[in-house]
């Protein structure tokens, strides 16, 4: 049975994988915010495919998530990490996450250590699919630069952990052991 979650930036449709052709795709076009065409289980036009699960059994069955988003809002860049390009989208993720741990990676395009630690963050997002992993490129646009100023970010990569939209931890640096240790300390709560 499929489930549907609606948000300001689009819709998430979850269900067991199956070939999406013919009559079983008709309902998708009625979803508010959905923009795209379905063809053999693939979404086109600003839509993303991914996998989501809360257990290894579900991961083995590869549950699909399809999320329709605008170009300005967010894009899946790797694994379970979503890139956020504005504060409104970030706030939407906080609301949708509820009491789940949200890990926010703040980086810049030219930061070497950011590029080195990022694959480790992607790996963690796959290991802990019930946490929310986000990334902001601080020098991407005026909105992301404003967030860096607002938070006083002076060194990148900067990792911020949130729960219920509240900041619960922040640290800078590309040390994988420190990132994992801090993540686990807050993930378990």
Whether 64 and 114 map to the same domain: the answer is no
Distance CA 105, CA 108 (A): 10
- pLDDT value at residue 80: 86
Q: Which residues participate in catalysis according to the annotation? A: 111, 114
Whether 44 and 111 map to the same domain: the answer is no
Whether 60 and 78 map to the same domain: the answer is no
Whether 101 and 175 map to the same domain: the answer is yes
Give per-10-residue mean pLDDT for the chain (189 aa).
Answer: 32 36 42 39 34 34 30 53 94 95 97 96 95 96 93 96 96 97 92
Quote the radius of gyration of the chain (alpha carbons, Å): 17
Among 48, 68, 88, which residue terminates a domain? 68
Whether 96 and 50 map to the same domain: the answer is no
Distance CA 36, CA 51 (A): 19
User: CATH no. for residue 156?
Assistant: 3.40.30.10
* Listed residue (26, 75, 70) closest to 50, CA to CA: 75
Whether 42 and 119 map to the same domain: the answer is no
Whether 99 and 155 map to the same domain: the answer is yes
- pLDDT value at residue 77: 56
| Phi, psi dihedral angles at 21 (to 5 degrees) | -140, 160
User: Into how many domains does the chain fold?
Assistant: 2
Name the percent of the chain in helix, strand, coil, to the closest 5.
35, 30, 35
Domain span at residue 137 reads 74-187
Whether 112 and 35 map to the same domain: the answer is no
Whether 90 and 181 map to the same domain: the answer is yes
Whether 37 and 64 map to the same domain: the answer is yes
Among 17, 42, 68, which residue terminates a domain? 68
- pLDDT value at residue 159: 98
CA 126 to chain centre: 11
């Amino acid at each position: 049975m499929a489930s549907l979650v609606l948000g300001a930036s689009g819709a998430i449709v979850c269900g067991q994988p199956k070939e999406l052709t013919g009559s079983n795709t008709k309902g998708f076009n009625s979803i508010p915010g959905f923009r795209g065409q379905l063809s053999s289980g693939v979404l086109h036009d600003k839509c993303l495919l991914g996998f989501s699960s809360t257990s290894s059994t579900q991961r083995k069955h590869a549950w699909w998530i399809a999320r329709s988003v605008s170009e300005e809002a967010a894009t899946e860049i790797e694994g379970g990490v979503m890139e956020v390009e504005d504060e409104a989208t970030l706030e939407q993720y906080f609301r949708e996450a509820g009491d789940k741990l949200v890990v926010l990676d703040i980086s810049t395009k030219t930061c070497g250590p950011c590029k080195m630690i990022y694959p480790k963050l992607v790996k963690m997002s796959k290991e802990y699919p019930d946490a929310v992993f986000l990334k902001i490129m601080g020098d991407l646009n005026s909105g992301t630069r404003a967030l860096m100023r607002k938070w006083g970010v002076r060194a990148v990569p900067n990792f911020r952990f949130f729960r219920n939209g509240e900041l619960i931890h922040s640290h800078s640096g590309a040390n994988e052991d420190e990132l994992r240790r801090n993540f686990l300390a807050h993930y378990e709560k």
